[in-house]
Structure 1
Amino acid sequence: MKRIEFLGSPMDVATMEETVSYIEQRVSAGGFLQHVVVNVAKLVNMQKDPQLAESVKSCDVINIDGMGVVWGARLLGHRVPQRVAGVDLFHNLLAMSERNNFPIFLLGATDDVVKKTVAKSHELYPNLNIAGFNDGYFWDDEEALVDKIAQSGAKLLFVAITSPKKENFINKWQDKLGVDFVMGVGGTFDVVAGKVNRAPLWMQNSGLEWFYRVLQEPRRMWKRYLVTNSKFAWLLLKEKLGS
C-alpha cells in the first residue's frame, strides 16, 4: 500500500480489497498491527491535539474514511482510489475472521448496544468466533479490562469508543492487549445494533453522510460538523495556496 502525507498526516491510499488482504496476511503471520481510519473531524482535531496526532501517526495502517478527505486529498494532487469506510471494513474483517477462524473481541458502546452487536454479528456470520465483549464504560479500571482482552485469546480487537479516547487507549495499552490486530470503529456498533441508521448509498457516495447524521441527531451533531467542516475547508485552502 502506498502512503501519502496529507495536511501533515500520513495516510494509506488503498482499496478495501487491498486493506483486507494486507490485514489478513499480517494477522496470519502474528505480531501486532494497529489500524485507524481518518475522517474530516479527526484530521482537524489532530491539528490541535498532539496526543491524538501521535496516536494516529503511530498506527501501521491509516485508511481514509469520509468523502471529504478523499476529495481534499485529490484536490491537492494525491491519487486516492476510494474511501475505505470504517463500518464497511468492520464487516469485511468479520467475514475474513469467520473464514480463518480468527477469534475477535468487541469493545465499546453501551452494554445493550454491544450485546446487540454480538447477536447481529452471529446472525450475519454464523461461524464467527467471538471470544469476548465489553461495554465502553471501564475507565475506573482500564488494566482489568486489558487483562480480560488478553486472556480471551482474541486475535482481532474492535474498539467502538469516541475519539480521541479510543486512539489514546489503544496506543497506551497496545503492548498488553495480547491481540494481533486492533481497530477503532467509532460508532459502528450503533449502526450494526440498529440504534443509528446509516445514510443511503447515494448520500455516502456524494459526501453527505455527515448531513444524514445531523438529521438524525441534530442537537449533538450540528455544531461538530459546522465547526470541523469549516476548519477543514480553511486548512485545504491554505495548503492549496501554499503549494
Structure 2
Amino acid sequence: MKKKFKVGKIFVALLALIWLVIAGAPFYFMVASAFKEQFEIFTAGVFSIPKGLYMQNFKEVLEGDFYVYLFNSLFVVGVSLALILVTSLCASYPFSRFKFKLNKPLFGLIVAAMAVPIHVTLIPVFQLTQKLNLYDTIFALIGPYTAFNLPISVFILTGFMAQIPKELEESAEIDGCGKYRTFFNIIAPLSKPGLATLAIYNSVNMWNEFSFALVLTQSQKSRTLPLSIWEFQGQYNANIPMIMAVLTLCALPMIVAFAIGQDKLIKGMMAGAVKG
C-alpha cells in the first residue's frame, strides 16, 4: 500500500514538473529576452541566457508613454472592478437567498449570457460608443468590461452565497435585523473570499484585454497597456527585446497582486466545496 502511494506521489510530482516547464518556458523567454540587445536573440538563440543585464530596454520603455498606458489601465480596471463587485454582490444575494417566480428564469438568462462570444458585439458596442460620444476615451472601456464580466461574477458569487448557512440570517432576524442590515452586516462580510476570487479573476481578464481597447480607442492618451507594444514595432520589423520589456512591466502588477491575494484566492475557490 505504501509502495503504491509513493509511486502515485512520484507520478504526480512528475506531472507537476512537466507542467511547470510548459508554463514557465514562455515566462522565462519573456524575462530573458527583455535583458538582451536587439539582435542577440537571433545570434545567441531564443532561450539562451542573456550575456548581460541590458537595462536600456527598460529605460527606453519608461522614458516613453508607458506611464500614460499604465494610468489608463489602472483607472479602467479599478472602476470596472468596483462596479462588477458591487453589482454582482447585490444581484447574487436575492438569487441565492430568496424564492420568487422569476428567480430561475432570470438566473438562466445570466448563465446564457456567459455563452455569448464578446467579439460578436464589437460592432454594436462601437456604434453605441460613438453615439454616446465616448469613443477614444478611457470611459468607453468601462461599460463593456463591466457588462461582459458580470454574468460569470454573478454565477460564481451566487453559488458561493448559497453555501452560507441560513441559520445566521434567522438569528439576525430574531435579533431584529432587517434584510438590508443582514446583507451588509452578515452576508457581505462572509462573501469576502468569493469577492477576492472575483477581483483577481476579473482583474487579470481586463488587464490583458486587447480587442475592445483596440476598437474603442485610437489615440495614445486613451489606450491601455496591451496596446503599448505598438510603439516598438513598425510595418516590417519589431524590436523584440523592447516588446518583451514592455510585457514584463505589464505583467509585474498582476504578479504582485496575485502574490498578495493568493491565500484569499485559494480560500475563495475552496469555500463551499464542503457543506458545513
Using the size of structure 2 for normalisation, the TM-score is 0.23
Q: Answer 1 or 2: which has greater strand percent.
A: 1
Using the size of structure 1 for normalisation, the TM-score is 0.25
Report which of the two structures shows the higher radius of gyration computed on alpha carbons.
2
